[in-house]
Amino acid sequence: MPDERIPFATHADQTVLGADEIILNMGPQHPSTHGVLRVKLRLDGEKVIGSECVIGYLHRGVEKIAEHRTYTQFAPYVDRMDYVAAVSNGLGYCEAVEKLLGAEAPPRARVIRTILTELQRIASHLFWLGTHALDIGALTPLFYCLREREEILKIFEKFCGARLTTHAFRIGGLQYEAYDELEKDVERFCTPFDKRVNEYESLLTENRIWVGRTKGIGILKAKEAIDYGASGPVLRASGVKWDIRKAMPYAAYDQYKFEIPTGKNGDTYDRYIVRMEEMRQSRLICLQAIENIPAGPIMGKVGKVLKPPPGEVYHAIEAPKGELGYYIVSDGTTQPYRVRIRPPSLINLEAFDKMIRGHLVADVVAIIGTLDIVLGEVDR
Amino acid sequence: MLMNVLHFVISIWVPLVCALIIVAVLPLVAGYIVLMERKVMADMQARLGPMRVGPHGLLQPIADALKLLIKEDIIPDEADKVIFWFAPLISVTAAMLAMSALAIGPWFQIADLNVGLLFIVGISALGIFGIVLGGWSSNSHYSLLGALRSAAQLVSYETAAGMAIVGGLLLAGTLSTREIIQAQNDYGTWFAFAAPVGFFVYIVASIAETNRAPFDLPEAESELVAGYMTEYSGFRWALYFLAEYTNMVVVASIATTLFLGGWLRPFAGTPAFNFLDYLPSVLMLGVGGYCFYRAPKQPVKVQNLFMLAVGLLMILAAIILAAPLIPAVANLLPGLKPGLHGAFWFLLKVGLYIYLFMWLRFTFPRYRFDQLMRLGWQFLIPLSIVNVMGIGVALVLHRHWGWGHLPAFGLTTLLTLLVAGWLGWEEEKKDKEHVFVGEA
């Protein structure tokens, strides 16, 4: 947490700055703050001696909207939070409401959900890799990543007609039966994909400049990461082996074998390695899942009008960016009394100030990139 | 009397016409280098690049220039208006002046100064004033940081580049661009092979000097938005761009002149390689043929015709380049072959050098500022100084002790490489110690 507030660079406040210090406003319109994040940086030359993130430029009141919609009506809204990983958002919400209803999705729906969510994880990580590399100055990986992401989006499009904000799942299961060639399409994407990941790695992993720009930058030790409540790859890169898919399995994750990659130093380089390895693991999960998709119905018994009993529920899933949690309070009507969303991006972003202090301006974009934030999710 | 008048007219008008050509054509050349860059980038990134304006985007630079010309010229309220207005001009003027001493083939040169290379290096270094003043007068923090970075970077890398040039100058024994190329002809080898380490240092330093990736910190897009150009728009912005691309041509020309044999054909002194004389024509014919091949595939009739016109132009160029190879023409105009073919080879080498720049840009991430400084001061500058000493030793061995070229330069190059290895190893060690840990 910043221990002193950073003043605006107005004349009245200039007095609190040292003679060599300036305030640099990065964003909300800046090529590499991943949307509309605004970072106020206190600089001594190029060295960052303090920072403050200003958020809320993309606030749409998603949680408030939920209180005026039925459970079903609210489902598409969650896709607009982390719009780079809409499928994962939908999965979290649907499962949370199912938990509240005491219902369960049938096995076939769960496996298809798992496949699509893992594909979404790959897509999200690909987009992260491209933009992160672009921020650090490598122009080319972005286009290779988008090329592969396109294949995943095509699968989504075939499955549910949408590419970005998919609304792929329904509370209680799936609305759409999987199209005939889903397995084939997933296999066609997954089989060569590990070679593609190797290709990205050949551009970056051993590159001297890349290593210089990422090693030792934005270190978050395991204890600090836990204290900040960081989750997802940010937490795992610090050496904490915590993955909700293993710890509290949901969907169909308990049926598949996969590793949880962890880092050692908790720096930007480790987070990069962890995410690269996660893409490989997601690919393995997809390949395992398409081997045996159980037959059966795709929709559980939830009824036409959703009226959960009064009570509350917290359900978290491992979204590509970390722990995505939904806390839903029901008062027994068709509309939730309160929906609170725990967005991984926002919580991870809180470690930003800790990570950036003492580094240079150039590292600001490296650290924003490595946190993998999406402002739609930070601001909601 | 008549001869005197003729001589006077030639001595005044030829440089003047050349200068006019440079001022008039250079923006176009810069525009097409941008197009080439976008096409090369697209090729490396599995895309097509500009395809809309003209066939294969061939008219894109003209459309861009027009758009920039008619764009509103915004000057920030808080800017120092006079300097803001003036700064891009400094950059462009410096870059263009530097062109004047370059010899693009024996025929095309504005002024053969006896201090040619010194003039070029000195004048092009003035361009930094445009950047620093522009960044300062914008009254914006991004611009200011960009300008500061640029100033520090140029000062550091001018030193390394300068020392690398000194290495070449020791070999040539002259500063005149013409005589430097002549000296390489006399040596029988390009100086890139006599002083490979110097050439390497010059490549790296020249990328940094022209603010190109991976050293494009002054305008690092993802960090400083556009660095010193952040507040500029419209044609003033285009002037900075023009200066940057002109500078690229200038450093590529220096490298070509000093290290790559200037307008000399590869293996100029070896009759066995005389078939290379046909290469210019064959290359042009190839490009022309490709244009004809692509012409019917253009979507619109106009583009079809345009493609045919480009093809015809290429074939015309091929014929002109082939003319000096006909014995009758060669006897009539003995200067034709070195004049035309020299320009071709020079431009080809400049083009390849710029292609190298682009290749690096699309491959590497960007250095951080402290890393850039460390690379400059702790690696390149010591290495370039050792390189100068090495070349000095080699020259003494060769001239006074009667060693052959190969053992003398081979030995010193080997020693310089050893020093380079040692410096790199030390860097590596320091890198490990230097791991940045954020302050609590």
What value of ipTM does the predicted structure carry? Answer: 0.79
pLDDT in tens, B321-340: 887 777 777 777 777 777 78
Nearest CA in chain A to B145: A46
Secondary structure letter of residue A242 according to DSSP: -
pLDDT at A101 over 80: yes
- Is A144 within 8 Å of B141 when comparing Cβ atoms? no
Query: What is the predicted pLDDT for the residue at A5?
Result: 54
pLDDT in tens, A244-272: 888 888 888 888 888 888 888 888 888 99
| C-alpha to C-alpha distance for B315 and B284, rounded to whole angstroms | 6
| C-alpha to C-alpha distance for A83 and A320, rounded to whole angstroms | 12
Query: What is the predicted pLDDT for the residue at B44?
Result: 87
pLDDT at A380 over 80: yes
The CB density around residue A198, as the number of other CB atoms within 10 Å, is: 12
Q: What percent of chain A has pLDDT over 90?
A: 9
What sign does the dihedral B151-B154-B157-B162 (CA atoms) show?
Answer: negative
Least confident of A221-235, A264-278, B214-228: B214-228
Residues of A in contact with B365 (CB under 8 A): 133, 136-138, 204, 207, 209-210, 213
pLDDT in tens, B358-378: 888 888 888 888 888 888 888
Query: What is the predicted pLDDT for the residue at A21?
Result: 77
What sign does the dihedral A24-A26-A32-A37 (CA atoms) show?
Answer: positive
DSSP A257-273: -------SS-SHHHHHH
pLDDT band at A326 (very low <50, low <70, confident <90, very high): very high
Q: Measured between CA atoms, how close is B248 to chain A, in angstroms? A: 20
Query: What is the predicted pLDDT for the residue at A17?
Result: 61
Query: What is the predicted pLDDT for the residue at B431?
Result: 65
pLDDT in tens, B44-94: 888 888 888 878 888 888 898 888 888 888 888 888 888 888 888 898 888
* Contact residues of A toward B, CB < 8 A: 22-25, 30-32, 46, 133-140, 142-144, 147, 203-204, 207, 209-210, 212-213, 215-219, 354-365
Nearest CA in chain B to A207: B364
Q: Measured between CA atoms, how close is A262 to chain B, in angstroms? A: 20
The CB density around residue B439, as the number of other CB atoms within 10 Å, is: 12
Query: What is the predicted pLDDT for the residue at B437?
Result: 43
Residue from B16, B27, B101, B107 nearest B64 by CA:
B27
Query: What is the predicted pLDDT for the residue at A9?
Result: 45
pLDDT band at A1 (very low <50, low <70, confident <90, very high): very low
Residue from A225, A218, A251, A259 nearest A318 by CA:
A251
Query: What is the predicted pLDDT for the residue at B235?
Result: 82
